[in-house]
Structure 1
Amino acid sequence: MDWQQVFATRMGRMKASEIRELLKLLDQPDIISFAGGIPDPALFPSDAFQRAFARIFAEGRAEAALQYSVSEGYLPLRQWLAGQMAALGVPCGAQNILITSGSQQALDYLGKLMLSPGDTALVGWPTYLGALGAFNAYEPRYDRLDPGANRSAADYANAATATGGRVKFAYTSADFANPTGRTLDRAARESLLDMADALDCAVIEDAAYQALRFDGDSVPPILALELARNGTIEDCRTLYCGSFSKTLAPGLRVGWVCGAAEVIGRLVLMKQAADLHSATLNQMVIAEVAGEMFDAHVTTIRAAYRERRDAMLAVLDREMPHGVDWTRPEGGMFVWLTLPEGADGAALLARSLQTEKVAFVPGSAFFADGSGGNTIRLSFSHSPPEVIERGIAALGRLLRGSLGG
């Protein structure tokens, strides 16, 4: 059978994730990988998870844990999350939260909810590759979101209208963004809200790394800033996507969306149609562990990742040749390198794997238009400082040979 004739047109927009392919390199013991933005499994609270699973089965809750459940998610977990959101300046109730299979599923649902073919999604240049992968299925047009640039809402609207759609949302990772590690300051967040008001579009706030601040002053979430303006979450256009993947464990695939109940209700319908509900047992275990030790565990991993961030920045300062610039993140998992114009991150990766056995992600994967060929993303989260030292020294050696200096 010629399968191409029955595939939907959206399949032409769906491509393999370069990051997911590079993660396969983690199985090769001779490769030092700065590719995957993944937590260190040595830091998982494994004992706490073991105790939580044991309690659930010992206390007569196994039937509920192994049974079908409501699509909205496990109520005690949603109630705990409502308390966490309130602490961030977002008072809300369980009805404002939907549990998803990681925040990646939330991005997929939000794209499905809002994008018709030809509509415009405003995204960073660069932006999270997984967001582009989620949105691509719904055939949008992308435009460059830059809250610091004085581009008018009318300009965005006219450009969207010219291609037969309208601006549906602005997507941003406001804290320690993947891939750049940058954080939007308060003024940029307020400016983004002003623009969204003028365009009458939604804001998708990807907060996957929000808890991983190492230093500097925290900035209120965009949703908290908007709620302060409007008085209630029901009058807010911002949808906050959170995840336990970077704090407790990614393998259980538990994330959430927080927003106006009207939107959450529509997302629940999508959840019902897609997978009925996220795994009940996983939600119950996350609720147990989060309630027992979330704040203490986050303090522990912040200290570990801060040490690794500092190690990477120190060796970059020492080893990188003239003409290479990089970000200095206050948290998260990533450092973003910009090489001189004309450099090719993909070609550099091929040489690096062959000669230095160091992996990273070429930056062009994070640009909706495929630009940014002279950029690369490094992740410091998975490697201890001594491995970071060896790997970045090797990368510096390669770059000095390739670029001079």
Structure 2
Amino acid sequence: MTPLEFRLSSRAKAFKASEIRELLKLIGHRSMISFAGGIPDPALFPVALFQHAWRHVFGGPSIAREALQYSTTEGYLPLRQWLAAHMNTLGVPATPDNILITSGSQQGLDLIGKLLLDPESGVVTASPTYLGALQSFSAYEPCFSSLDAPQLTGPAAPRLVYLVPDFANPDGRTMSKTARHQALDQAKALNAVIVEDAAYSALRYDGEDIPAIASLDARLAGSIESTRTLYCGTFSKTLSPGMRIGWVCGPTALIRKLTLLKQGADLHTATTNQMVMHHVAAACYDAQVARTRVVYKARRDAMLAALARYAPPGLKWTKPEGGMFIWLELPDHIDADLLLPQALRQDIAFVPGAAFHADGSGRNTMRLSFSLCDEAQIEVGIFKLCSLIAKAATARDDVLTFAST
């Protein structure tokens, strides 16, 4: 430890690197079949439209100067207007005043944590849940509890209920309409804010759309201003993650507070990126979503079919109706963290499941992403992975030596 590290805050000392981000550093070579990151396929990005948008933004002196200048913290007004209209199609009666543009929805989670959480404040999540949310909220030193058994009393009484209701990261599950109503009832009883992470909601392949929690909340409350839901959206899974454009939609009073916090963090999201994203979203959002759904549905189907062919006895998995992820539950004695090095040596990558549990449980689980690999890679990768799992399931001593072989 260097001398300056002794001066770190208690929360900074507790920070840990993202297991996914660290893993992605190891899997860049071409032979690797990566089921690890929840990464969109760059071949699907509407590159030509982005090129056209950049030329448009810098096509005249006036608009180019606007793009290169400071902007309002709330975000580029035409983009907020487009997003308000988009939220209305989802049943959320938003105006631009209900929208804050963020640097990806990840910043939205961080700002919400800063807004609502004190040390030992209660945060209720599903288990497992999105690792990035656990990291964002952990910076504010809360106490986590499960959606099934929240801590109801004392300083850890919940202030925030975090949900990924559609095709959740990491397990791909979707909350029923009944479960969404129950979550709203629970949040009302706790007097807590619901954070609805809708990163994957556009990527439905099967089944019928279920209303967003924010939509159900608005219907019951009679107005968006009386709701308790903060909806976090993003373009990262549909148009481009590299542009870092997300948004938070909610009651004006909370959006104004979040705006002040963002102002202190970065003043505003990059003006040029917002203008370009508005141009592209207005031109192709629905068509791009439809195109993406076709490709990812085929890859999901390929992974499910390969699991059905090659999975050894005792292996269980989810069958998501959308999104990017399938969740595997291994036999109880297999530790996915210890299986990972063996898989990497065979050019297969996945994310061990314990990282998605606030209490570190779920060591016999793993997350697989199907978005980046084509069907042929999925076939080979699942065959190799299932072979490793089968070996571990029948030879416990092998599992114990994976970490050192």
TM-score by length of 2: 0.95
State whether structure 2 residue 374 is matched by structure 1 residue 396.
no
Cα RMSD for the two superposed structures: 1.1
What residue number does 1:289 align with? 280
Tell me, what secondary structure is at the counterpart of 1:156? Answer: coil
What are the superposed Cα offsets for residues 68-113 of structure 1, whole Å, 9 maximum, x if unpaired? 0000000000000000100000011000000000000000000000
What residue number does 1:31 align with? 32
What residue number does 1:278 align with? 269
Distance 2:192 2:257 in 1: 17
What are the superposed Cα offsets for residues 199-226 of structure 1, whole Å, 9 maximum, x if unpaired? 1010000000000001101100001001
What residue number does 1:143 align with? 145
What residue number does 2:128 align with? 126
Question: CA shift at 1:57, angstroms?
Answer: 0.9
Distance 2:260 2:74 in 1: 9
What residue number does 1:9 align with? 10
Distance 1:372 1:380 in 2: 21
Q: 2:74 aligns with which of 72, 75, 82?
A: 72
Q: 1:104 aligns with which of 94, 103, 106?
A: 106
State whether structure 2 residue 224 is matched by structure 1 residue 237.
no
Distance 2:140 2:113 in 1: 7
User: Partner letter of residue 29 of structure 1?
Assistant: R
Tell me, what secondary structure is at the counterpart of 2:58? Answer: helix
What residue number does 1:217 align with? 208
User: Partner letter of residue 272 of structure 2?
Assistant: L
Distance 1:218 1:331 in 2: 11
User: Partner letter of residue 348 of structure 1?
Assistant: L
State whether structure 2 residue 342 is matched by structure 1 residue 347.
no
Question: CA shift at 1:13, angstroms?
Answer: 2.9
Distance 1:241 1:88 in 2: 13
Distance 2:80 2:366 in 1: 37
Question: CA shift at 1:58, angstroms?
Answer: 1.0
User: Aligned pair count?
Assistant: 393
Question: CA shift at 1:140, angstroms?
Answer: 0.4
Q: 1:95 aligns with which of 79, 83, 97?
A: 97
What are the superposed Cα offsets for residues 118-162 of structure 1, whole Å, 9 maximum, x if unpaired? 11100111100000010010000000013xxxx5xxx6322xx1x
Flag as ranges the 4+ runs of structure 1 deviating above 3 A.
Answer: none
TM-score by length of 1: 0.95
Tell me, what secondary structure is at the counterpart of 1:27? Answer: coil
What residue number does 1:383 align with? 373
Tell me, what secondary structure is at the counterpart of 1:113? Answer: helix
Please tell me whether the aligned partners of residues 312 and 380 of structure 1 are also in contact (alpha carbons under 8 angstroms).
yes
Distance 1:12 1:351 in 2: 31
Distance 1:67 1:365 in 2: 40
What residue number does 1:157 align with? 152
Distance 2:231 2:13 in 1: 29
Question: CA shift at 1:59, angstroms?
Answer: 3.5
Distance 1:265 1:3 in 2: 36
Distance 1:92 1:39 in 2: 28
User: Partner letter of residue 152 of structure 2?
Assistant: A
Please tell me whether the aligned partners of residues 122 and 151 of structure 2 are also in contact (alpha carbons under 8 angstroms).
no
Please tell me whether the aligned partners of residues 321 and 404 of structure 1 are also in contact (alpha carbons under 8 angstroms).
no
What residue number does 2:399 align with? none
User: Partner letter of residue 93 of structure 1?
Assistant: T
Please tell me whether the aligned partners of residues 25 and 31 of structure 1 are also in contact (alpha carbons under 8 angstroms).
no
- The correspondence of residues 360-375 of structure 1 with structure 2, limited to 5 A, is 360-375=350-365
Question: CA shift at 1:400, angstroms?
Answer: 1.4
